[in-house]
Amino acid sequence: MYAPNPMPELEDRPDETRSEALYSVVAGEGDGFLLAMAAGDTAGGAWELGYSAVTEQATVIAYEMITNRDLDQSRLVTALVEMDGADGEEPVYRAESPEFRKWLDQSRHGARPGEDPSLDAAPRAAVLGVAHRRDAARVVAEAIALGKLFHRDAGTVASGVIAAAAVAASCFAQSGLDLVAGVGETVESALGEIAEGTSRPERVESLPADVRGVLGSVGVATGEDALAAAGGNRDDPVHMVLAGILLAAPVVPRHHVAIEQAARIGGSRLGALVGAIVGARVGIRAWPWAFANDTWFAEIGRRLVRGPDEVADLPIPYAVEQHLMSGGRPGFH
């Protein structure tokens, strides 16, 4: 667990014009992750009026984890497909990725994982990092299972494990080198499980080196610098997620800057992931991007962390999204 730095002596404290944070403490143990995820999704601009299918999926997964504290793939597939209008209703996903769109279309006849590399696995797995933050082995196991439900590409599955581990660590205020090194140790322990049954399993062989390679770049401030340090390949989900972790790792006063930079290089999906990491660390707070349903996201985060383990008194996700789409702008329904 991250140990806060001792309070510096008065003469050693940074002045207000400098960027160093004095120290970091646990703030809500992860309850701010979904609110910040929606902010990062909005910053990425996949849907011009707010958050997109990235946050919608995370919300459905969060409801499942609140009520059951376990990943039941059959229930989850049913819930996700229902949001796509499987029962003859209006589809309510907004700006879904091509990979998710393909998965949804196929899942009407039985869920089949896709072959293409994708950034989708990372923001989905963020929910598991919060739900199982006190059980590292379970974080890894369920992140792998969730990844393989949607994807066969080894690098994509690995990116989900990296993301879940980073969010889990952030729940306990881990940051900087501690955060990145801890993620590396977690992923290295799971290489065999990640590779099993996936396509391009050779991709996971370099994961430990990939993570070690970014340790010297902790502290980079721009998305382009983070991506270059992570390997520079925008089509590699591991490179993109490591770039996001580099941006999220430092503790800085302006918490939103990392999210903004992630959205610049990786759109809504990377913006959402970095939002989840930062939000898990800093707790429930206001973000500079306007989007609907912020109090709902805050309450979902609270319940995932502290209970109660029920959603009967919360809005039904489909109803929330259908109302948002039908009322979002004239003609958008």
Q: Among all chains, which residue has been given the structure tokens 């996903």?
A: 93
**Any domain includes 220:** yes
Question: Measured in Å, how far apart are the chain's first and last C-alpha atoms?
Answer: 47
**Any domain includes 333:** no
pLDDT at 152: 97
* pLDDT confidence band for 139 (50 / 70 / 90): very high
d(Cα 309, Cα 170) in Å, to the nearest integer?
22
pLDDT single digits (tens) 199-222: 999 999 999 999 999 999 999 999
* pLDDT confidence band for 24 (50 / 70 / 90): low
Percent of the chain with pLDDT strictly greater than 70: 91
Domain limits for position 159? 25-50+116-307
Say if residue 7's pLDDT is above 70.
no
- Alpha helices by DSSP H, listed for the chain, are 33-44, 53-68, 73-82, 98-107, 121-131, 136-150, 154-171, 176-188, 191-195, 207-214, 223-230, 237-248, 256-282, 294-306, 317-328
Most confident of 9-18, 101-110, 193-202: 193-202
pLDDT at 87: 75
pLDDT at 327: 67
Say if residue 39's pLDDT is above 70.
yes
**Any domain includes 331:** no
**Any domain includes 58:** no
- Alpha helices by DSSP H, listed for 108-222, are 121-131, 136-150, 154-171, 176-188, 191-195, 207-214
> Residue 204 sits in a domain of what CATH number?
1.10.4080.10
pTM comes to 0.91
d(Cα 51, Cα 39) in Å, to the nearest integer?
7
**Any domain includes 214:** yes
**Any domain includes 20:** no
* pLDDT confidence band for 107 (50 / 70 / 90): confident
Q: Are 20 and 56 within 8 A, CB to CB?
A: no
Q: Are 117 and 156 within 8 A, CB to CB?
A: yes
**Any domain includes 15:** no
Say if residue 168's pLDDT is above 90.
yes
* pLDDT confidence band for 12 (50 / 70 / 90): very low
pLDDT single digits (tens) 41-71: 999 999 999 999 999 999 999 999 999 999 9
**Amino acid of residue 110:** G
d(Cα 164, Cα 128) in Å, to the nearest integer?
6
Number of domains present in the structure of the chain: 1
d(Cα 202, Cα 273) in Å, to the nearest integer?
25
* pLDDT confidence band for 181 (50 / 70 / 90): very high
pLDDT single digits (tens) 264-318: 999 999 999 999 999 999 999 999 999 999 999 999 999 999 999 999 999 999 9
**Any domain includes 110:** no
pLDDT at 1: 36
**Amino acid of residue 10:** L
d(Cα 240, Cα 242) in Å, to the nearest integer?
5
Average pLDDT over the chain reads 91
Cα 98–Cα 101–Cα 103 angle in degrees, nearest 5 = 110
pLDDT single digits (tens) 233-264: 999 999 999 999 999 999 999 999 999 999 99
* pLDDT confidence band for 331 (50 / 70 / 90): very low
